[in-house]
Structure 1
Amino acid sequence: MLNRIAYRVHQSLERHFPEQRLFLKSDTETRFIRLRPTTQIIALVGGTLALAWTIVATALIMMDSIGAGSAREQSMRQQALYEERLNALSSDRDLRAEEAARAQERFNIALTQVSEMQERLLASEDRRRELETGIEAIQDTLREAIKERDMARAEAERVTLALNAQAGGATELGRASDTLATLEFLTGALGEAAEERNEVLAEAEAAREEVRLIADAKEALQMRNDAIFSKLEEALTVSVEPLDKMFREAGMSPDDLIGAVREGYSGQGGPLTPISFSTSGAAPSAEELRANAILTGLDRMNMYRIAAFKLPFAMPVKDSFRWTSGFGYRRDPKGAGTRMHEGTDLAGAYGTPIYATADGVVTHAGWDNGYGRLVKIKHDFGVETRYAHMSQIRVEVGQRVSRGERIGDMGNSGRSTGTHLHYEVRLSGEAVNPMTFIKAAKNVF
């Protein structure tokens, strides 16, 4: 039964694939190879499968090539946009620095002008007091002259009465002569007193006019000082508010930072001290209070500048790169389930320079199992940054580095699936999102 079925199948196959013979002839003999229908079907199926596999593989390769080209173009566009953003941030940072420098220069000029104006004002006040003292002295002299005049009149009357009493029967002619002499004397004394009074009144009027001019000059000076102080206060507000916002967005207290910086401040010059124009211990004036408030703001801005260089507000990579993995829980790339990713990954070309993001001291520069080639930098305020998977380390333990100083090259060492930098920021030993610091500084630096 089976033989009959096999025979019928063979006959059916021979109708479509008749048996073929392939002859091979040599000098001594001739041989042939018999190609049965089954063999032909197997060869046909194998060739068809090979052709189909070739077509599918070619299509997949072409699709991958097209996809890779689109990815490269998208990466290039993202890179161009990021470089444009970096250039804008750099220009904005330079502009802020120039504005702060100009504000400092304007403040110094204004302080010099205020000091000169205060000196002139004090001199004017001294002169006004001297004039008031002179006027009082002149008035005292005038009062004394009037008293002497009255006394002279009384003395003349007394002498006249005494002469009349002694002469007794003096003739009328003698009395008239004495009266004329007395009148002439009194007239002369009164004339001199009147002239002296007129001179004193003229000097007093001139003194009052000078006092009025001094008061007008003082008022103009106060208005000018008020305008200068207003411009300085506005410039200081524009300069300090972005820095204050940057530290708050980074989750750090500006007051605590300033206190810590001031406690460890060891630079030349020291903090700005308040202004005091009084040497008698009197209460400060409104101008002194405003000037001291501006000095306090400048001192705060200086402390902010020092703290900004001690905290990781810079980018660890300045060349072209792309963000590949952020801070938080994620699926492990090595297939170890869901794990906490305590930093952020920046992928770039092999050997891309890596820079310190803040001033600090290198506490580790070597191999670490999961991190590969790792650099740890200790900063002030309990902050630490880590730079992992390097191809080369360019610093040593104990070395002090500055923000923007090159510390190594990007690589693929340790537990890594490709060339990238694993960047961490830790506060008091606890990992925090590095993007908090990077985003907080984007509107300042």
Structure 2
Amino acid sequence: MLPERRLFLRTDTETRFIRLKPSSQLLAISGSAFVVGWSIFATAVLLMDSIGSGNFRAQAVRDQRVYEERLNAMSSERDASAEEAVAAQDRFDDALAQISLMQSELLQSEERRKELETGIEVIQATLRRTSRERNQARIQSQELMANAENGTPSGPASTEMTGTVDLLSSALASTAAERDMIAEDAEFAIERAAEVELELELLHEKNDQIFRQLEEAMLVSVEPLDEMFKAAGMDPDNLINQVRRGYSGQGGPLTPVQFSTSGSSYDADAARANGILSKMDRINLYRIAAERAPFDTPVKSAFRFTSGFGPRWGRMHNGTDFAGPHGTPIYSTADGVVISAGWASGYGRLVKIQHEFGIETRYAHLSRIRVQPGQRVSRGERIGDMGNSGRSTGTHLHYEVRVGGRPVNPMIYIKAGRDVF
């Protein structure tokens, strides 16, 4: 297929030729084919890489847009939850005002009932006394009439007896009129007592309805908080006891309530009211605990999760990474004290905050630190800016939560707080 060929090169003075052997032709053809093939392959690789890079950038833009939409939706849900919490607090305050008004009405009703009972007892005693006096007057009148029939005295004695009879008759008439008046007063008092009892019954029904609404509101408010702390691996009862030991002052508006003035040892309304106040106190303690546990997110601006808690590239990743623009504000996720703020190997610029309940949070790879060691910070307070310091491949925040020195997944706290707040 490749016979020997001769290539003649002729000039004005001489003629030369080049002999092309089959092996030389085969080598030239193979080299040309290799160059052309390599050019095609390199061009295809470059085109594929360019197309892949464009798709990756488009996918990154789409992912960023999706994350921003999700963040906006979460922000809207958080705002709606905050508004609902404010509205629930307003409704709760209104209910407390109604309870105070009902308490005053109940006390006044019980005082009126006691006054009516006392008045009825006085009327009954007066009736009994009047009845006795009437019977005595009747007996004396009968005796005088009998004496008058047995022997009719004359002169002053007859006149005296006649006067006595007239006096007794007028006394009997007066006593009868007084008796009728007392009977009417007693009947009116009994009717009034029945009306007061009806009013008390209606007040008790209204009171029971308000108590039911408050108890349902307390149940709806307390259960999510219980679930939030349980989801974060924290015992709610133990947590409440720790907070209560730190806030052990007594007095104020949450003192026990006593609705009854009868001096009885047990009152159902008072027990229910004290139960509601106890739940209010528990909610208040939960609020204090939530401010001191890291249930918030350290980044409020647009971001995306780039790496979660767990093994990564054969090593343990002890936190969660939030990627965002350089200089994005970083916030403390709970109240606490800054125990370290400076450069740390691998972490770059690092801020450590010690919280209550043995919890510590770490904020790494910062571009700027805005707090000092020993400084007390509050939840939502800005502590630094997102950066790329230390062992980092891009601008992001490395966020850790440690309980008793042991790293735990920060998303446990963030998701638990997001379900409630």
| Shared fold (TM-score, shorter chain, > 0.5) | yes
* Alignment pair present for 1:403 and 2:385: no
Q: Distance in 1 between matches of 2:263 and 2:240?
A: 30
Q: Deviations over 1:357-400 (max 9, x none)?
A: 22222222222222222221111111111122233333322222
Q: CA deviation at 1:223?
A: 1.0
Q: Distance in 2 between matches of 1:381 and 1:238?
A: 26
* Alignment pair present for 1:127 and 2:109: no
Corresponding residue of 1:420 = 396
Q: Distance in 2 between matches of 1:224 and 1:409?
A: 56
Q: CA deviation at 1:92?
A: 2.8
Corresponding residue of 1:99 = 84
Q: Retained in 1: the 8 A contact 2:309–2:318?
A: yes
Q: CA deviation at 1:428?
A: 0.6
Alignment partner for residue 365 of structure 1, among 321, 335, 341?
341
Corresponding residue of 1:152 = 137
Q: Aligned runs of 1:203-218 on 2, under 5 Å?
A: 203-218=185-200
Alignment partner for residue 356 of structure 1, among 332, 339, 348?
332
Corresponding residue of 1:431 = 407
Percent identical among aligned pairs is 55
Q: Distance in 2 between matches of 1:13 and 1:270?
A: 114
Structure 2 unmatched runs, 5+: none
Alignment partner for residue 140 of structure 1, among 125, 136, 147?
125
Q: In 2 relative to 1, CA 286–86 (structure 1 residues): closer, same or farther, beyond 3 Å? A: farther
Alignment RMSD (CA, Å): 3.7
Length, aligned pairs only: 419
What SS does the aligned partner of 1:441 have?
helix
Q: Retained in 1: the 8 A contact 2:211–2:273?
A: yes
Q: Distance in 2 between matches of 1:76 and 1:126?
A: 74
Alignment partner for residue 295 of structure 1, among 260, 277, 282?
277
Higher Rg: 1
Q: CA deviation at 1:213?
A: 0.7
**What residue identity is the alignment partner of 1:126?**
E
Corresponding residue of 2:43 = 58
Q: Retained in 1: the 8 A contact 2:338–2:353?
A: yes
Q: In 2 relative to 1, CA 342–22 (structure 1 residues): closer, same or farther, beyond 3 Å? A: farther
Corresponding residue of 1:4 = none
State the TM-score, normalizing by the size of structure 1: 0.81
What SS does the aligned partner of 2:407 have?
strand
Alignment partner for residue 210 of structure 2, among 228, 241, 247?
228
Q: Aligned runs of 1:269-288 on 2, under 5 Å?
A: 272-277=254-259, 282-288=264-270
**What residue identity is the alignment partner of 2:182?**
V
**What residue identity is the alignment partner of 1:66?**
I
Range moving further from structure 2, 352-361 or 220-229: 352-361
**What residue identity is the alignment partner of 1:101?**
V
Q: In 2 relative to 1, CA 141–284 (structure 1 residues): closer, same or farther, beyond 3 Å? A: closer
* Alignment pair present for 1:200 and 2:185: no
Q: Aligned runs of 1:7-26 on 2, under 5 Å?
A: 14-15=4-5, 18-19=6-7
Q: Retained in 2: the 8 A contact 1:22–1:34?
A: no
Q: Distance in 2 between matches of 1:314 and 1:33?
A: 88
Corresponding residue of 2:99 = 114
Q: Retained in 1: the 8 A contact 2:4–2:19?
A: no
What SS does the aligned partner of 1:416 have?
coil
Q: CA deviation at 1:13?
A: 6.6
Q: Retained in 2: the 8 A contact 1:100–1:239?
A: no
Q: CA deviation at 1:293?
A: 1.4
Q: Retained in 1: the 8 A contact 2:68–2:303?
A: no
Q: CA deviation at 1:312?
A: 1.5
Q: Retained in 2: the 8 A contact 1:92–1:444?
A: no
Q: Distance in 2 between matches of 1:33 and 1:393?
A: 81
**What residue identity is the alignment partner of 1:343?**
G
Q: CA deviation at 1:198?
A: 1.1
Q: In 2 relative to 1, CA 277–317 (structure 1 residues): closer, same or farther, beyond 3 Å? A: same
Q: Distance in 2 between matches of 1:414 and 1:163?
A: 130
* Alignment pair present for 1:392 and 2:374: no
**What residue identity is the alignment partner of 2:241?**
G
Q: Distance in 1 between matches of 2:105 and 2:242?
A: 41
Q: Distance in 1 between matches of 2:365 and 2:275?
A: 49
Structure 1 unmatched runs, 5+: 1-8, 332-337
Q: In 2 relative to 1, CA 157–267 (structure 1 residues): closer, same or farther, beyond 3 Å? A: closer
Q: In 2 relative to 1, CA 151–354 (structure 1 residues): closer, same or farther, beyond 3 Å? A: closer
State the TM-score, normalizing by the size of structure 2: 0.85
Q: Distance in 2 between matches of 1:232 and 1:178?
A: 78
**What residue identity is the alignment partner of 2:373?**
V
Q: CA deviation at 1:195?
A: 1.4
Range moving further from structure 2, 384-393 or 94-103: 94-103
**What residue identity is the alignment partner of 1:131?**
L
Q: Retained in 2: the 8 A contact 1:309–1:359?
A: yes
**What residue identity is the alignment partner of 1:323?**
F
What SS does the aligned partner of 1:380 have?
coil
Q: Deviations over 1:102-136 (max 9, x none)?
A: 33322332222222232233223222322332333
Q: CA deviation at 1:349?
A: 3.6
Q: Deviations over 1:182-234 (max 9, x none)?
A: 66554433322221111111111100111011011111111111111111222
Q: Retained in 2: the 8 A contact 1:377–1:385?
A: yes
Q: CA deviation at 1:137?
A: 2.3
